[in-house]
């Protein structure tokens, strides 16, 4: 089959147009899930989809499915996509590239009069980032049966607004039952969010799987007291205890090098006064490892460290796991198709694991799935300075185009799904 090329300029212009919604002062984007900015981004995407003659359906959690019909109505759709929500001070490409690359694939087929046997779809998944409602990848998790609809709708943001209320407020409560919309395969294009491709001067990452991720919420309860009149001996300073635990988190990651990573990303300190000892600290911990046994070992070390900090400081430490996403192996057929597409285009590529979680992690439990990475400058992401080159984005989108065309004619065998829905359902909802 003669290779066709996507319209790189159109793709770039749409990414830049989307970036203007919630634009930040340093060139990034801020579209927290289910805010007015998120609604505007969704509205613009749907407008573009309808201009491309796509049928748009929305499920109960606001997941969007834009379909280009195929010649065989019995075939399940071959889908791609990602998310449009961002971090509070996020970049222009995280998630957005995967969504608009998918739309560009459909428009390129329209431009060239190419029909496919299977329908093709672009998906937008709600609340991938987890910046407003935890856990992340929430709506794709409901689609895959990892979380219940009731659990998702009840999640609250820091202001006590539930996800159900936020969905209603922006008018994105759809009629499609979550999980009822079956897919024949799912591909997600994304910036790497790491430095490997750029460092090795590779254009495409063929992603074979995703490392496991566990999130924890820690509450440290001490006793508020005057900093000037309370002797050091006998203090129960929750913030000082939290500082010790944060150092331990780094040490645990170092002890499990080179595969492990860990960080503390969110801290609340009460009363947060310059002359009062902290009585209460809440923090979150993110630990990741590509193997289940590595995850278990890191958690064991974390629990031991928490107990030791509590014993040494007389501060009560409560550790709760709030998310558990096991390591994921992507579908071998999808991986092979992506690799062949990159090779046939003459792009420099490599197989790799994803260090970050993506909606594809959950989709892999219910449909053949894989991912395509392209480089980002300095490996920087979740940052207003996030940047990617037009040629790299175009290359990744061309690979996505070729892979979807192949799968639309020769769908993968669903019984070869490597990460089963049963295993995915073991993820914590608490």
* Domain residue limits, the chain: 8-211+327-424, 213-323
- Whether 419 shows a pLDDT value over 60: the answer reads no
Q: Closest by alpha carbon to 171, among 327, 58, 10?
A: 58
Instruction: Please report the pLDDT score of residue 292 as a whole number.
Output: 94
CA distance 252 to 425: 27
Is residue 173 within a helix (H) or strand (E), and if so which, with residue range? none
Q: What percent of the chain has pLDDT over 70?
A: 96
pLDDT higher at 333 or 429 = 333
Which residues is 267 bridged to in the sheet?
283
How confident is the model over 26-58, as pLDDT tens digits? 999 999 999 999 999 999 999 999 999 999 999
Mean pLDDT (whole number) for 194-212: 97
Question: Residue range 218-235: average pLDDT?
Answer: 97
Return the SS3 of 259.
Answer: coil
What is the rounded CA–CA span in Å between residue 26 and residue 29? 9
* pLDDT reported for residue 423: 39
Rounded mean pLDDT, 333-356:
97
Percentage of residues in the chain having pLDDT higher than 90: 92
> Between the CA of residue 324 and those of 15, 35, 305, 381, 412, what are the distances in Å?
32, 26, 20, 22, 28
- HSE on the CB side for 87, CA within 13 Å? 14
Total number of residues shown for the chain: 430
**Residue 418's pLDDT band (boundaries 50, 70, 90)?**
very low
Q: What is the CATH number of domain 213-323?
A: 3.30.70.360
| 239-260 average pLDDT score | 97
**Has residue 326 got a pLDDT over 90?**
no
Average confidence (pLDDT) over 338-356: 96
* Angle in degrees, CA 178, 183, 187, rounded to 5: 110
Which tens digits make up the pLDDT trace of 351-402? 999 989 899 999 999 999 999 999 999 999 999 999 999 999 999 999 999 9
Element (H, E) at 322: strand 316-325
Q: In the 8-state DSSP scheme, what is residue 94?
A: T
Top-level CATH class of 8-211+327-424?
A: alpha beta
């Amino acid at each position: 089959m003669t290779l066709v090329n996507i319209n790189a300029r159109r793709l770039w212009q749409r990414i830049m147009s989307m970036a203007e919604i919630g634009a930040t002062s340093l060139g990034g984007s801020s579209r927290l899930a289910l805010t007015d900015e998120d609604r505007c981004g969704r509205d613009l995407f749907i407008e573009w989809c309808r201009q491309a003659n796509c049928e748009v359906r929305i499920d109960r959690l606001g997941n969007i499915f834009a379909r280009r019909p195929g010649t065989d109505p019995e075939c399940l759709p071959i889908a791609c996509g990602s998310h449009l929500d961002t971090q509070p001070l996020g970049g222009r490409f995280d998630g957005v590239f995967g969504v608009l690359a998918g739309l560009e694939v459909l428009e390129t087929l329209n431009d060239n009069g190419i029909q496919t046997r299977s329908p093709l779809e672009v998906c937008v998944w709600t609340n991938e980032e987890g910046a407003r409602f935890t856990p992340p990848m929430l709506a794709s998790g409901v689609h895959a049966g990892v979380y219940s609809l009731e659990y998702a709708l009840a999640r609250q943001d820091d202001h006590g607004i539930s996800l159900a209320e936020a969905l209603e407020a922006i008018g994105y409560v759809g009629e499609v039952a979550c999980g009822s919309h079956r897919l024949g395969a799912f591909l997600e294009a994304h910036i790497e969010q790491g430095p490997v491709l750029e460092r090795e001067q590779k254009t495409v990452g063929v992603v074979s799987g995703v490392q496991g991720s566990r999130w924890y919420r820690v509450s440290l309860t001490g006793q508020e007291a005057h900093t000037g009149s309370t002797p050091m001996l006998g203090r129960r300073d929750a913030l000082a205890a939290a500082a010790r635990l944060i150092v331990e988190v780094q040490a645990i990651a170092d002890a499990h090098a080179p595969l492990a990573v860990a960080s503390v990303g969110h801290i609340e300190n009460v009363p947060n006064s310059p002359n009062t000892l902290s009585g209460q600290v809440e923090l979150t911990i993110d630990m990741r490892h590509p193997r289940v046994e590595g995850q278990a070992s890191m958690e064991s070390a974390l629990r031991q460290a928490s107990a030791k900090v509590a014993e040494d400081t007389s501060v009560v430490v409560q550790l709760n796991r709030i998310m558990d996403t096991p390591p994921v192996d992507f579908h071998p057929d999808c991986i092979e198709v992506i690799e062949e597409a990159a090779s046939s285009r003459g792009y420099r590529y490599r197989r790799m694991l994803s260090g970050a979680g993506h909606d594809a992690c959950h989709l892999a439990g219910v449909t053949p799935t894989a991912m395509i990475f392209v480089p980002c400058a300095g490996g920087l992401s979740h940052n207003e300075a996030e940047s990617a080159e037009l040629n790299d984005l175009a290359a990744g989108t061309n690979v996505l185009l070729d892979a979807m065309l192949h799968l639309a004619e020769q769908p993968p065998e669903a019984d070869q799904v490597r990460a089963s829905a049963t295993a995915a359902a073991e993820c914590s909802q608490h």
